[in-house]
Amino acid sequence: MTAHALHGDVESTALYDIPGPQARRRHLLYGILSTVVILALLAWILYLLFDTNQFTAAKWSPFTYEGIQELILRGLGNTLKAFAYASVFSLALGAVLATGRLSAHRPVRWVATLFVEFFRAMPVLVMIFFIFVALKVQPLPALVAGLTLYNGSVLAEVFRTGINSVEKGQREAAYALGMRKTQVMTFVLAPQAVRAMLPTIISQLVVALKDTSLGYLITYEEFLHAGKLIASNLDYDLPFIPVVMIISPIYIGMCMLLSWFATWVARRERRSLKTRAVDVPDGEPGTVLPGR
Protein backbone atom coordinates (compact mmCIF):
# COMPACT_ATOMS: atom_id res chain seq x y z
CA MET A 1 0.00 0.00 0.00
CA THR A 2 1.40 3.40 -0.99
CA ALA A 3 1.64 6.30 1.40
CA HIS A 4 -0.94 8.19 -0.70
CA ALA A 5 -3.49 5.35 -0.42
CA LEU A 6 -2.84 5.00 3.29
CA HIS A 7 -3.34 8.74 3.75
CA GLY A 8 -6.63 8.53 1.83
CA ASP A 9 -7.90 5.71 4.06
CA VAL A 10 -6.94 7.56 7.24
CA GLU A 11 -8.55 10.78 5.96
CA SER A 12 -11.80 9.00 5.05
CA THR A 13 -12.22 7.44 8.50
CA ALA A 14 -10.66 9.99 10.83
CA LEU A 15 -13.85 11.95 11.42
CA TYR A 16 -16.24 9.07 12.15
CA ASP A 17 -16.23 5.46 13.34
CA ILE A 18 -16.58 2.69 10.80
CA PRO A 19 -20.12 1.30 11.25
CA GLY A 20 -20.41 -2.21 12.61
CA PRO A 21 -22.80 -4.97 11.44
CA GLN A 22 -25.73 -3.69 13.51
CA ALA A 23 -25.22 -0.10 12.37
CA ARG A 24 -25.05 -1.20 8.72
CA ARG A 25 -28.30 -3.15 9.08
CA ARG A 26 -29.91 -0.14 10.76
CA HIS A 27 -28.72 2.18 7.97
CA LEU A 28 -30.06 -0.26 5.38
CA LEU A 29 -33.43 -0.29 7.14
CA TYR A 30 -33.49 3.51 7.25
CA GLY A 31 -32.68 3.64 3.55
CA ILE A 32 -35.47 1.21 2.67
CA LEU A 33 -38.02 3.08 4.81
CA SER A 34 -36.99 6.43 3.29
CA THR A 35 -37.33 5.01 -0.22
CA VAL A 36 -40.78 3.61 0.55
CA VAL A 37 -41.93 6.96 2.00
CA ILE A 38 -40.63 8.90 -1.03
CA LEU A 39 -42.23 6.48 -3.49
CA ALA A 40 -45.53 6.67 -1.58
CA LEU A 41 -45.41 10.47 -1.65
CA LEU A 42 -44.73 10.47 -5.40
CA ALA A 43 -47.58 7.99 -5.97
CA TRP A 44 -49.95 10.20 -3.96
CA ILE A 45 -48.97 13.30 -5.96
CA LEU A 46 -49.40 11.36 -9.21
CA TYR A 47 -52.85 10.18 -8.05
CA LEU A 48 -53.90 13.78 -7.30
CA LEU A 49 -52.74 14.91 -10.74
CA PHE A 50 -54.76 12.19 -12.47
CA ASP A 51 -57.74 12.76 -10.17
CA THR A 52 -57.85 16.48 -11.09
CA ASN A 53 -57.51 15.72 -14.81
CA GLN A 54 -54.11 17.34 -15.22
CA PHE A 55 -53.05 14.90 -17.96
CA THR A 56 -56.00 15.42 -20.28
CA ALA A 57 -55.28 16.16 -23.93
CA ALA A 58 -56.88 19.59 -23.67
CA LYS A 59 -54.38 20.79 -21.05
CA TRP A 60 -51.31 19.45 -22.89
CA SER A 61 -52.41 20.32 -26.44
CA PRO A 62 -50.97 23.89 -26.43
CA PHE A 63 -47.41 22.53 -26.37
CA THR A 64 -47.99 20.90 -29.76
CA TYR A 65 -48.58 24.23 -31.51
CA GLU A 66 -45.69 25.98 -33.17
CA GLY A 67 -46.75 29.41 -31.90
CA ILE A 68 -46.71 28.21 -28.27
CA GLN A 69 -43.33 26.57 -28.77
CA GLU A 70 -41.93 29.79 -30.21
CA LEU A 71 -43.35 31.72 -27.24
CA ILE A 72 -41.61 29.38 -24.79
CA LEU A 73 -38.31 29.51 -26.68
CA ARG A 74 -38.47 33.30 -26.92
CA GLY A 75 -39.14 33.53 -23.19
CA LEU A 76 -36.24 31.19 -22.47
CA GLY A 77 -33.97 33.26 -24.70
CA ASN A 78 -34.99 36.47 -22.94
CA THR A 79 -34.31 34.85 -19.56
CA LEU A 80 -30.83 33.78 -20.65
CA LYS A 81 -30.19 37.24 -22.10
CA ALA A 82 -31.11 38.97 -18.83
CA PHE A 83 -29.06 36.44 -16.87
CA ALA A 84 -26.01 36.91 -19.09
CA TYR A 85 -26.08 40.69 -18.72
CA ALA A 86 -26.74 40.53 -14.98
CA SER A 87 -23.96 37.98 -14.42
CA VAL A 88 -21.29 39.97 -16.25
CA PHE A 89 -22.27 43.30 -14.69
CA SER A 90 -22.64 41.75 -11.21
CA LEU A 91 -19.17 40.21 -11.36
CA ALA A 92 -17.67 43.49 -12.57
CA LEU A 93 -19.50 45.56 -9.96
CA GLY A 94 -18.59 43.07 -7.24
CA ALA A 95 -14.90 43.29 -8.16
CA VAL A 96 -14.99 47.11 -8.12
CA LEU A 97 -16.80 47.27 -4.79
CA ALA A 98 -14.53 44.65 -3.24
CA THR A 99 -11.51 46.69 -4.34
CA GLY A 100 -13.08 49.74 -2.71
CA ARG A 101 -13.76 47.79 0.49
CA LEU A 102 -10.11 46.72 0.59
CA SER A 103 -8.79 50.19 -0.24
CA ALA A 104 -6.27 51.82 2.09
CA HIS A 105 -8.07 55.15 1.61
CA ARG A 106 -10.75 55.55 4.27
CA PRO A 107 -13.24 57.66 2.22
CA VAL A 108 -13.18 55.13 -0.62
CA ARG A 109 -13.66 52.29 1.85
CA TRP A 110 -16.59 54.05 3.53
CA VAL A 111 -18.37 54.81 0.25
CA ALA A 112 -17.95 51.22 -0.95
CA THR A 113 -19.16 49.85 2.40
CA LEU A 114 -22.24 52.10 2.39
CA PHE A 115 -23.07 51.10 -1.19
CA VAL A 116 -22.69 47.38 -0.44
CA GLU A 117 -24.68 47.41 2.78
CA PHE A 118 -27.52 49.48 1.30
CA PHE A 119 -28.09 47.47 -1.88
CA ARG A 120 -27.46 44.12 -0.20
CA ALA A 121 -30.25 44.87 2.30
CA MET A 122 -32.67 46.27 -0.30
CA PRO A 123 -35.21 43.72 -1.69
CA VAL A 124 -34.51 42.96 -5.34
CA LEU A 125 -38.15 43.42 -6.35
CA VAL A 126 -38.26 46.90 -4.79
CA MET A 127 -35.17 47.96 -6.74
CA ILE A 128 -36.54 46.59 -10.00
CA PHE A 129 -39.88 48.33 -9.53
CA PHE A 130 -38.24 51.62 -8.54
CA ILE A 131 -35.98 51.63 -11.60
CA PHE A 132 -38.86 50.62 -13.90
CA VAL A 133 -41.56 52.95 -12.53
CA ALA A 134 -39.76 55.94 -10.98
CA LEU A 135 -36.87 56.17 -13.44
CA LYS A 136 -39.03 55.06 -16.43
CA VAL A 137 -36.47 52.53 -17.65
CA GLN A 138 -37.35 49.82 -20.16
CA PRO A 139 -38.10 46.33 -18.72
CA LEU A 140 -34.83 44.59 -19.68
CA PRO A 141 -32.48 47.34 -18.42
CA ALA A 142 -34.60 47.73 -15.26
CA LEU A 143 -34.42 44.00 -14.54
CA VAL A 144 -30.68 43.81 -15.25
CA ALA A 145 -29.97 46.92 -13.16
CA GLY A 146 -31.87 45.60 -10.15
CA LEU A 147 -30.18 42.19 -10.35
CA THR A 148 -26.77 43.80 -10.83
CA LEU A 149 -27.06 46.12 -7.84
CA TYR A 150 -28.13 43.33 -5.50
CA ASN A 151 -25.93 40.47 -6.71
CA GLY A 152 -22.95 42.77 -7.27
CA SER A 153 -23.16 43.91 -3.64
CA VAL A 154 -23.34 40.32 -2.40
CA LEU A 155 -20.46 39.25 -4.64
CA ALA A 156 -18.38 42.16 -3.35
CA GLU A 157 -18.48 40.62 0.12
CA VAL A 158 -17.67 37.22 -1.36
CA PHE A 159 -14.63 38.64 -3.16
CA ARG A 160 -13.47 40.58 -0.10
CA THR A 161 -13.77 37.52 2.13
CA GLY A 162 -11.94 35.38 -0.40
CA ILE A 163 -9.06 37.83 -0.69
CA ASN A 164 -8.76 38.12 3.09
CA SER A 165 -8.76 34.33 3.43
CA VAL A 166 -5.41 34.06 1.63
CA GLU A 167 -2.57 33.60 4.09
CA LYS A 168 -0.98 36.85 5.18
CA GLY A 169 2.47 35.49 4.41
CA GLN A 170 1.66 35.33 0.70
CA ARG A 171 0.99 39.07 0.63
CA GLU A 172 4.09 39.89 2.67
CA ALA A 173 6.30 37.73 0.47
CA ALA A 174 4.98 39.42 -2.67
CA TYR A 175 5.66 42.88 -1.22
CA ALA A 176 9.15 41.72 -0.20
CA LEU A 177 9.82 40.87 -3.84
CA GLY A 178 9.05 44.47 -4.80
CA MET A 179 5.60 43.92 -6.29
CA ARG A 180 3.11 46.78 -6.24
CA LYS A 181 -0.29 46.49 -4.58
CA THR A 182 -2.08 46.05 -7.91
CA GLN A 183 0.33 43.30 -8.93
CA VAL A 184 -0.07 41.55 -5.57
CA MET A 185 -3.86 41.62 -5.93
CA THR A 186 -3.83 40.52 -9.59
CA PHE A 187 -1.14 37.87 -9.64
CA VAL A 188 -0.96 36.57 -6.05
CA LEU A 189 -4.16 37.05 -4.06
CA ALA A 190 -6.94 36.89 -6.66
CA PRO A 191 -5.90 33.58 -8.36
CA GLN A 192 -5.71 31.81 -5.00
CA ALA A 193 -8.92 33.36 -3.72
CA VAL A 194 -10.91 32.42 -6.84
CA ARG A 195 -10.53 28.71 -6.10
CA ALA A 196 -12.05 29.19 -2.66
CA MET A 197 -14.72 31.63 -3.87
CA LEU A 198 -15.89 29.68 -6.93
CA PRO A 199 -18.67 27.60 -5.28
CA THR A 200 -20.11 30.70 -3.59
CA ILE A 201 -19.89 32.72 -6.79
CA ILE A 202 -21.76 30.04 -8.73
CA SER A 203 -24.38 29.82 -5.97
CA GLN A 204 -24.98 33.56 -6.22
CA LEU A 205 -25.24 33.32 -10.01
CA VAL A 206 -27.88 30.63 -9.54
CA VAL A 207 -29.79 33.12 -7.37
CA ALA A 208 -29.48 35.70 -10.17
CA LEU A 209 -30.79 33.17 -12.69
CA LYS A 210 -33.86 32.41 -10.57
CA ASP A 211 -34.47 36.10 -9.87
CA THR A 212 -34.80 36.81 -13.58
CA SER A 213 -38.35 35.44 -13.12
CA LEU A 214 -39.19 38.73 -11.38
CA GLY A 215 -39.11 40.31 -14.81
CA TYR A 216 -42.67 39.17 -15.56
CA LEU A 217 -43.90 41.65 -12.91
CA ILE A 218 -42.63 44.54 -15.04
CA THR A 219 -43.94 43.01 -18.30
CA TYR A 220 -40.56 41.68 -19.42
CA GLU A 221 -41.33 38.70 -21.67
CA GLU A 222 -39.06 36.17 -19.98
CA PHE A 223 -39.59 32.44 -19.42
CA LEU A 224 -42.04 32.70 -16.51
CA HIS A 225 -44.01 35.40 -18.34
CA ALA A 226 -44.44 33.04 -21.29
CA GLY A 227 -45.61 30.27 -18.95
CA LYS A 228 -48.11 32.62 -17.32
CA LEU A 229 -49.62 33.51 -20.71
CA ILE A 230 -50.08 29.83 -21.52
CA ALA A 231 -51.38 28.84 -18.07
CA SER A 232 -54.06 31.55 -18.07
CA ASN A 233 -55.46 30.56 -21.45
CA LEU A 234 -59.11 29.47 -21.17
CA ASP A 235 -59.03 27.85 -24.60
CA TYR A 236 -56.76 25.12 -23.18
CA ASP A 237 -58.70 24.62 -19.90
CA LEU A 238 -56.19 26.65 -17.82
CA PRO A 239 -53.16 24.31 -18.11
CA PHE A 240 -51.41 25.63 -14.99
CA ILE A 241 -49.98 22.29 -13.77
CA PRO A 242 -48.70 21.22 -17.23
CA VAL A 243 -46.95 24.59 -17.58
CA VAL A 244 -45.29 24.13 -14.18
CA MET A 245 -44.25 20.60 -15.16
CA ILE A 246 -42.63 21.96 -18.32
CA ILE A 247 -41.00 25.12 -16.96
CA SER A 248 -39.77 23.88 -13.58
CA PRO A 249 -37.46 21.12 -14.94
CA ILE A 250 -35.92 23.63 -17.35
CA TYR A 251 -35.18 26.07 -14.52
CA ILE A 252 -33.78 23.23 -12.41
CA GLY A 253 -31.72 22.00 -15.35
CA MET A 254 -30.17 25.43 -15.92
CA CYS A 255 -29.27 25.72 -12.22
CA MET A 256 -27.80 22.22 -12.21
CA LEU A 257 -25.80 23.09 -15.32
CA LEU A 258 -24.25 26.05 -13.51
CA SER A 259 -23.44 23.84 -10.51
CA TRP A 260 -21.93 21.22 -12.80
CA PHE A 261 -19.81 23.89 -14.45
CA ALA A 262 -18.49 24.98 -11.04
CA THR A 263 -17.67 21.37 -10.15
CA TRP A 264 -15.94 20.85 -13.50
CA VAL A 265 -13.81 23.96 -13.07
CA ALA A 266 -12.86 22.97 -9.50
CA ARG A 267 -11.95 19.45 -10.62
CA ARG A 268 -9.92 20.83 -13.50
CA GLU A 269 -8.03 23.08 -11.08
CA ARG A 270 -7.24 20.09 -8.86
CA ARG A 271 -5.95 18.12 -11.86
CA SER A 272 -3.76 21.00 -12.99
CA LEU A 273 -0.09 20.20 -13.20
CA LYS A 274 0.62 23.34 -11.21
CA THR A 275 -1.36 22.18 -8.19
CA ARG A 276 -1.15 18.39 -8.40
CA ALA A 277 1.24 16.71 -6.02
CA VAL A 278 3.87 14.40 -7.47
CA ASP A 279 3.44 10.76 -6.48
CA VAL A 280 6.48 9.35 -4.74
CA PRO A 281 7.12 5.72 -5.70
CA ASP A 282 7.50 3.10 -3.03
CA GLY A 283 11.02 1.91 -2.49
CA GLU A 284 12.79 -0.80 -0.64
CA PRO A 285 14.98 0.12 2.31
CA GLY A 286 18.23 1.57 1.06
CA THR A 287 16.84 2.46 -2.37
CA VAL A 288 18.04 5.79 -3.72
CA LEU A 289 15.15 7.75 -5.24
CA PRO A 290 15.65 9.59 -8.57
CA GLY A 291 17.09 13.01 -8.16
CA ARG A 292 18.69 12.23 -4.78
CA geometry: angle 272, 274, 279, nearest 5 deg: 85
- More confident position, 284 or 105: 105
pTM given for the model: 0.75
Residue 65's SS3 state is: coil
Q: Which domains are present in the chain?
A: 67-259 (1.10.3720.10)
21-64 pLDDT, tens digit per residue, is 888 888 889 899 999 999 999 999 888 888 888 888 888 888 88
149-200 pLDDT, tens digit per residue, is 999 999 999 999 888 888 777 777 877 888 887 778 777 887 777 777 888 8
Name the band, by pLDDT with cuts 50, 70 and 90, for residue 278: very low
119/96 Cα distance (integer angstroms): 15
The pLDDT > 90 percentage for the chain reads 40
pLDDT for the residue 75:
93
How many other C-beta atoms can be found within 10 angstroms of the C-beta atom of residue 238? Answer: 15
21/201 Cα distance (integer angstroms): 42
Q: How large is the angle between the packed helices 139-165 and 190-211, nearest 10 degrees?
A: 150
Residue 111's SS3 state is: helix
